[in-house]
Structure 1
Amino acid sequence: MTVLAIDIGGTKFAAALAEPDGTLRARCEVPVGGDPSAVLHTLLDRFPADAVGAVGIGSAGPLDLGAGTVSPVNIPAWRGFPLVAEVEGRLPGRPVRLAGDAQCMALGEWWRGGTGHDSLLGVVVSTGIGGGLVLDGRPYFGPAGNAGFLGHVVVDPTGDPCGCGATGCLETIASGPSMVRRALARGWAPGSVPPDARALADAARAGDPLALAVFAEAAAALGAVIADAATLLDLRHTVIGGGLAAAADLLLDPIRRTLTARRPATLSPVTVSATALRRDAGLYGAAALAVLPT
């Protein structure tokens, strides 16, 4: 059965047809821009209904799996958006399964990324920060679908306000936009290039002390939250995905150092790696929702 896999993030929507073995084809991607509901329907229009047997969706959250709704922090227009009903309306009769985008990333890495681990934590570091869990070979979503929502774990109670309404969340320190904002506030000058996370990473690689400091702080915050999650759930493997996985050379070693410093010596070490599936990890996970008996 061919399925439609959809990956919904804060700045882009992606979709692809997927075969039962995980082969992706007819992949497309569109920026969110304007009305995200219109963008969703534009994306669905690219796939003929008779080619789709089922649908798997990974979406930024929070989610309410029972209601089939999403409330992405970085898409304010979608508070309580009935995503499942919207897709079912366009593809009647097709089963539709929903999970968080980071949960899909973790599931995709477990299914097609060659990790060799039955349990892992997936962390998406991009416009926002999300987390997903595979435990003993099965995805763990939680009652409402928000298990692993690491971006909104508070790491600095006196820190910056977060779009979720809390203060000092991990996302205010380690997401791409937050890192850029923090660097600019300290006087970082990107020159003629756009002031985005890619430019900040390039500056760090070139030795810019402000950029290096911001990356070090982000990695320390990520490492602290990963260490706590690993201790709580007895996890031994973490995969980092999302747009900032491209800056793995700047993030992974500092994350590992933080893990070593924070983990009790009597517990098993935690490995940290960048996604093997890169930008398609979430699509593979969304496909797995529809293909596998999860």
Structure 2
Amino acid sequence: MSHDRAAVAHDQSLAPRSVLAALDIGGTKIAGGLVGPDGALLHQVQLPTPARDGAGAVLDAVHGVLDRLARHPLWPQARALGIGSAGPVDIARGTVSPVNIPGWRDFPLRDRVAAHPAVAGLPVTLGGDAVAMAAAEHWCGAARGYRNALCVVVSTGVGAGLVLDGAVRPGPTGNAGHLGHITVDLDGRPCSCGSRGCVEGLASGTAIARTAHESGWRPAGPDADASAAGVAAAALAGDPLALRAYDLAARALAAGIAATATLVEIEAAVIGGGVARSGPLFLDPLRRHLAGYAPLPFAARVTVIPALLGTDAGLVGAAALALSPGPDGPAAAGRPTAVAR
């Protein structure tokens, strides 16, 4: 069933003001959605992100998505709006500085969205995209039922969000759980963050492709895929250099998860993102290396499970963040997942 047909099916049973509006903002696309009280994505629209065209052009695209959402019949039932954005973010100030949107530095995104005529009067909550993914998976995905979990996105970069004591814990600025910038190799590659040997520089899709190329791997044919997906295809075909690149990536992520488990005693590590879609190619060595890096009994119990919500997680998670208590959102009885400040 399409999202719009699902919306029609839900329409008769939805209580007034039970819908949540959501924005998912990244360097490639800006998506907007309407989410039901059960976490169902009822409607979505998206526009490409004009990331190289300046701050105003990107904001115009955000407004364009909001204009389209506001024309949907369910928009009047929206009770709050949540935003999941590429980061870094600062939820205390309501600003974002996405690495992949150069024109937005300390950009007051929350206030600019709240000023849109269609949004007037709705509480607006801002969060990082990885924290939104954690909120989504805890609400109605793979982390549902776990009181303590780390939810990781392994894609072009590596991001993560923490669920502790049954609540998403974004931290004071919204960046808690930023696993991608934990150092796991003291003499490793310099990282764009200014450190070196970070998980992101070893485990991301970009890093997997780089590792494979540095080891001498080359895709077959002049037009073959040299990305992490191409490395995955070669690994599945048994190429030893490609297999090694995935193993090294899984090892780096395992070290980061083990460090997190040792610090805060998580029960589960939920793995999503494009790299995780390679399935056992990535997850099997991840589990094997995690067993070696987390031998203490309280850390060794971590279960590694694939994320369930896929590309819907950004919008569903932004909607979950919209129900958070605190200065950025309303306290909501029966909210899907608490977000502690």
The residue that corresponds to 2:41 in the other structure is 24
The residue that corresponds to 1:280 in the other structure is 312
Contact 1:73 1:164 in 2 (8 A): no
For residue 132 of structure 1, report the CA deviation from its aligned partner.
0.3
The residue that corresponds to 1:133 in the other structure is 162
Which AA in structure 1 matches 2:321? L
The residue that corresponds to 1:56 in the other structure is 82
For residue 282 of structure 1, report the CA deviation from its aligned partner.
2.4
For residue 38 of structure 1, report the CA deviation from its aligned partner.
3.9
Q: Does 1:66 align with 2:92?
A: yes
The residue that corresponds to 1:45 in the other structure is 67
* Structure-1 separation of matches of 2:230 and 2:98: 26
Contact 2:45 2:69 in 1 (8 A): no
Which AA in structure 1 matches 2:136? G
User: Aligned runs of 1:214-229 on 2, under 5 Å?
Assistant: 214-229=245-260
Aligned to 1:180, which of 209, 214, 221?
A: 209
Q: Does 1:103 align with 2:96?
A: no
* Structure-1 separation of matches of 2:23 and 2:114: 13
* Structure-1 separation of matches of 2:295 and 2:209: 33
- Runs of at least 5 residues in structure 2 that lack an aligned partner in the other structure: 1-17, 324-334
User: Aligned runs of 1:70-85 on 2, under 5 Å?
Assistant: 70-85=96-111
User: Aligned runs of 1:107-122 on 2, under 5 Å?
Assistant: 107-113=135-141, 115-122=144-151
For residue 57 of structure 1, report the CA deviation from its aligned partner.
1.3
* Structure-2 separation of matches of 1:164 and 1:37: 25
Deviates more, 1:158-167 or 1:170-179: 158-167
TM-score (structure 2 length as normaliser): 0.80
Supply the RMSD in Å over aligned alpha carbons: 1.9
Which AA in structure 1 matches 2:36? E
- Cα deviations across residues 267-294 of structure 1 (Å, max 9, x unaligned)? 2511001101122122221111124364
* Structure-2 separation of matches of 1:173 and 1:201: 15
In structure 1, the residue corresponding to 2:126 is in which secondary structure?
A: strand
Contact 2:251 2:289 in 1 (8 A): yes
How many residues get paired? Answer: 294
- Cα deviations across residues 208-262 of structure 1 (Å, max 9, x unaligned)? 2221111111100000000010110011101001222211221111111111111
Which AA in structure 2 matches 1:211? A
Contact 2:94 2:109 in 1 (8 A): yes
For residue 28 of structure 1, report the CA deviation from its aligned partner.
2.9
* Structure-2 separation of matches of 1:194 and 1:271: 32
Contact 1:10 1:128 in 2 (8 A): no
Percentage of identical aligned residues: 50
Aligned to 1:257, which of 275, 282, 288?
A: 288
- Cα deviations across residues 136-162 of structure 1 (Å, max 9, x unaligned)? 211111111110011111222322222
Max Rg structure: 2
- Cα deviations across residues 78-117 of structure 1 (Å, max 9, x unaligned)? 2212111121122222111111211111111111015321
The residue that corresponds to 1:230 in the other structure is 261
Change (3 A) 1:54 1:244: same
Contact 2:32 2:69 in 1 (8 A): no
Change (3 A) 1:11 1:194: farther
* Structure-1 separation of matches of 2:228 and 2:61: 24
Aligned to 1:171, which of 200, 220, 242?
A: 200
In structure 2, the residue corresponding to 1:162 is in which secondary structure?
A: coil
Deviates more, 1:263-272 or 1:236-245: 263-272
User: Aligned runs of 1:138-149 on 2, under 5 Å?
Assistant: 138-149=167-178
Aligned to 2:115, which of 81, 86, 89?
A: 89
Which AA in structure 2 matches 1:43? V
- Cα deviations across residues 19-57 of structure 1 (Å, max 9, x unaligned)? 122111222344434434343233223211754432111
Which AA in structure 2 matches 1:48? A
